[in-house]
């Protein structure tokens, strides 16, 4: 393929994910504060996030299992590293460190860029039951233009399709009580068609259990989110006594289940001009791989699909970490 000026050498894909379990992606080690093991946050907004490094590592590992290439997961096997085969879907997509132990000439860069997964809709308990909240800046970052500001002291708004005026006048988000005024309709927002379709997909999931999605001021969104994170306590058990070990109590926080995330993945197939991605479903020896692939984004998607079963982040053996892929759309840039 010729990389002419009229064609971009990359494609942007936006994933919509929903947490099936609480998700804990920690920052490493203990911290002074409300909990011993806090989750990763954006330093500018203090909002929880799922770092792209953790998502990329988990996606590579699960994709390697699905394609029958476990030696290409992580940093590769200790003796041989990654296979480095240009026909290998894992090494082609995520890159390779070396083809043999101690040899660096086989190292290649990956053809995808996986970014942080950010919160789109956050679940909160209220007097109406479970509701979800978002903010104007969150929707703008997601790709929806012309979202009006609410202001620090403004009333929260309902988000959804056309449905007339809401009868809800007051709503509580946990301990925080807010007045409700007006409705923001999706049809009134400017943005890429595929981005709006992703938003409708998320709202469609929410409407199966409740029709309440609220737009809160940007200044309030972080407070609502951080005040309603899940905090759990664990303790080590003394194997001799069967009781709790003294001094082994610790707490950790997690993003609750039913949180909606959005994730950007850029496919930059810089090798395509050399012959392109190995579009096949066979290994060199003729043995079939687990699934077919047509482009690097197919390999990434195959790994993300297994987040629903094997999870991402820490505490995965304690009921944490599962994420369900709801949709993926190519976004025009």
Task: Give pLDDT tens digits for 116-131.
Answer: 999 999 999 998 889 9
Higher pLDDT, 238 or 41: 41
Residue 256: CB atoms within 10 Å: 19
Q: Checking DSSP bridges between strand 108-109 and strand 95-96, what pairing results, if any? A: antiparallel
Note the pLDDT of residue 284: 42
Q: Largest Cα–Cα distance of the chain, in whole Å?
A: 71
Q: Give the mean model confidence (pLDDT) for residues 291-300.
A: 84
Q: Which residues contact 107 (CB under 8 A, 6 or more apart)?
A: 84, 95, 96, 97, 98
Note the pLDDT of residue 148: 83
For the stretch 197-222, pLDDT in tens is 888 888 888 876 666 889 999 999 99
94 and 112 Cβ atoms separated by less than 8 Å? yes
103 and 91 Cβ atoms separated by less than 8 Å? no
**Domain locations in the chain as residue ranges:** 11-229+253-331
Q: Which helix (H) or strand (E) holds 83?
A: none
Long-range contacts of 70-76 (CB under 8 A, 24+ apart): 72/96
Q: How confident is the model at residue 140 (pLDDT cuts 50, 70, 90)?
A: very high
Is the pLDDT at 288 greater than 90? The verdict is no
Alpha-carbon gap, residue 105 to 110, rounded angstroms: 15
* 259 CA to centre of own chain: 10
pTM above 0.75, yes or no: yes
Burial label, 273 (beta-carbon count in 10 A; 0-12, 13-18, 19+): exposed
Output the CA torsion 42→45→49→51 (10° steps).
-20
Note the pLDDT of residue 205: 82
Structure tokens of 107? 């190292």
């Amino acid at each position: 393929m010729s990389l002419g000026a009229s064609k971009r050498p990359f494609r942007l894909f936006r994933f919509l994910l929903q947490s099936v379990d609480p998700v804990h992606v920690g920052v490493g080690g203990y911290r002074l504060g409300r909990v011993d093991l806090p989750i990763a946050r954006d330093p500018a907004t203090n909002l929880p996030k799922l770092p792209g490094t953790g998502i990329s590592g988990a996606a590579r590992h699960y994709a390697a299992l699905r394609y029958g290439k476990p030696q290409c997961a992580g940093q590769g096997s200790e003796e041989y590293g990654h296979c480095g085969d240009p026909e290998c879907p894992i090494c082609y997509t995520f890159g390779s460190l070396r083809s043999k132990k101690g040899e660096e000439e086989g190292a290649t860069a990956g053809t995808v860029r996986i970014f942080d997964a950010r919160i789109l809709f956050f679940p909160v308990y209220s007097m109406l039951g479970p509701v979800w909240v978002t903010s104007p800046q969150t929707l703008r970052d997601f790709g929806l233009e012309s979202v009006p500001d609410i202001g620090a002291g403004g009333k929260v708004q309902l988000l959804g399709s056309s449905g007339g005026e809401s009868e809800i006048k007051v709503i509580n988000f946990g301990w925080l009580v807010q007045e409700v005024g007006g409705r923001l309709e999706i049809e009134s927002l400017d943005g890429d068609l595929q981005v709006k379709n992703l938003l409708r997909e998320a709202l469609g999931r929410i409407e199966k259990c409740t029709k309440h999605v609220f737009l809160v001021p940007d200044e309030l969104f972080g407070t609502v989110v951080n005040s309603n994170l899940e905090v759990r306590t664990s303790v080590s058990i003394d194997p001799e006594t069967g009781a709790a070990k003294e001094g082994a109590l610790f707490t950790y926080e997690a993003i609750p289940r039913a949180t909606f995330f959005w994730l950007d993945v850029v496919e930059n197939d810089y090798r395509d001009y050399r012959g392109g991605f190995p579009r096949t479903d066979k290994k060199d020896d003729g043995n079939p791989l687990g699934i077919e692939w047509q482009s690097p984004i197919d390999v990434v998607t195959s790994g993300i699909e297994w987040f629903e079963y094997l999870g991402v982040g820490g505490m995965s053996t304690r009921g944490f970490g599962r994420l369900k892929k709801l949709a993926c759309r190519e976004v025009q840039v």
